[in-house]
Chains A and B, each alone.
Chain A
Amino acid sequence: MALSRVLAKWPESRYRLQFMLGLRDAVPALIATGTWGLVTGIAIVKSGLSETMATLMTLLVYAGSAQLTALPLIKDAVPLWLIFAAGLVVNIRFLIFGAALQPFFRHLSWPKRLGVGFFSTDIGFVLFMGRYGEAKRRPDPRHLWYFLGIIAPGWLVWNACSIVGIFLAGAIPTSWSLEFAAVLALLSVVIPLVSTRPVAFCILVAASVAWVGQPLPLRLGLAAAVVSGIAAGVISERLSKDAKRAS
């Protein structure tokens, strides 16, 4: 049994330590996740889905921005292929994250990789790359347990808060503007990332492109912000390397 094998390994202190380390790193982000979940749950029901459908969506899709993007499309009863295309564009970042994470987990069996992939999150990616992005030793079992320490509580908090939101939707006044707390929560994840000049440059460019590109349909402004932000980071990295070589 997979579960008994997991439990048998659990007391091994290095796995437990890594899981707890992941959990500790994830706590501020979990507040963000919980707020977003609550707000998303409320938004799904306010857009007209039944509580059953809203719960099903939360559990099966597990992607807040794709869910929020799809709501106005569902309301307008657009063809399903357009919902599929919009979902793909919004989720394209997961493909990028998956490509960056895959070298750390390629030694696992494919069902485990499927699991790690499906339950991975933006925050899991950000924190994992922050701690182990430069790690040379692979495979290293610590990587999986640290990652699980972030994504397992993330899944629980997201779905629990979403379902609370779904069933509380009628009682929460819109005037509280809880959706802004979700934005602030994301902001609290981004600000600590600004530790080097290339990251600062990347954020500056991505912010400008996102601002200009926001009227574009299907969240293409977001896609453009990601691509140009990456380009800005890389160029700035190259320039600072060249400057070092010249001096």
Chain B
Amino acid sequence: MSDGNWYVLGAILVLAVCSLLTRTGYMVFGDYLPLPEGLRRALRYAPAAALVGIIVPEVLPWQPGSLPSLDAKAVAAAIAILVYWKTRNSLYVIIGGMLAFWLIRPWWPF
């Protein structure tokens, strides 16, 4: 194995340790680290916040030093939200948003 592959293997192993620590840490040792009820209730908001935190930079990207521009993805995402509002179907959100993106992109001025 080349040096490059050893380095990649090292990176994979440290990432695997990250996964193990964060995912199982509380599950295994949680009884020794009691959480107050208030904090536990607060954590119910974590997943929605995290998912939004991943989506927003993908849909509305901007770079320091240049003006933010409206991406075709933002319009497609807005259409996808409308699709959910009309149909209440998660699958249509993906299909509708993707079709909107493919249709809008060739015409998008920015």
- The answer, yes or no, to whether A106 is at the interface (CB within 8 Å) is yes
Check A117–B48 contact: CB distance below 8 A.
no
Determine whether A96 belongs to the interface, using a CB cutoff of 8 Å to chain B.
yes
**Contact between chains at A211 and B49 (CB < 8 Å):** no
Question: Does B52 lie within 8 Å of A206, measured CB to CB?
Answer: yes
User: B91 to chain A: which residues have CB within 8 Å?
Assistant: 28, 31, 188
A70 to B12, CA, bound (A): 9
Size of interface on B: residues with Cβ below 8 Å to A: 67
A67 CB contacts on chain B under 8 angstroms: 15
User: B27 contacts A181, CB within 8 Å?
Assistant: no
- Please report the C-alpha to C-alpha distance between residue A28 and residue B48 in the assembled complex, in whole angstroms: 16
Chain B 21-45 interface 0/1 with A at a Cβ cutoff of 8 Å (1 = within) = 1111111101101010001111111
Interface size class, chain A: 35 or more
User: Count of A-B contacts with CB under 8 A?
Assistant: 272
- Chain B interface mostly: helix
B57 interfacial by beta-carbon distance below 8 Å: yes
The binding surface of chain A is classed by DSSP as helix
Q: List residues of chain B with CB within 8 A of the CB of A188.
A: 80, 84, 90-91, 93-94
Q: Which of A110-127 contact B (CB under 8 A)?
A: 110, 113-114, 116-118, 120, 122, 125-126
On chain A, the residues within 8 Å of B22 by CB distance are: 88, 91-95, 98
* Listed stretches A3-11, A16-24, A50-58; interface member: A50-58
Q: A225 at the A/B interface (Cβ < 8 Å)?
A: yes
State whether A61 touches B16 (Cβ < 8 A).
yes
> Which of chain B's residues have a CB closer than 8 A to the CB of A209?
53
User: Could you jot down 15 A-B contacts, CB within 8 Å?
Assistant: A60-B15, A61-B16, A63-B18, A84-B14, A93-B47, A98-B22, A98-B25, A105-B27, A106-B31, A117-B28, A118-B24, A202-B48, A211-B60, A229-B46, A233-B49
Q: Which 7 A-B pairs have the closest CB atoms?
A: A229-B49, A117-B27, A225-B53, A98-B26, A233-B45, A117-B24, A87-B18
Known: A98-B23, A181-B98, A207-B53. 7 other contacts (CB 8 A): A81-B14, A100-B43, A120-B23, A122-B47, A199-B45, A222-B54, A234-B45
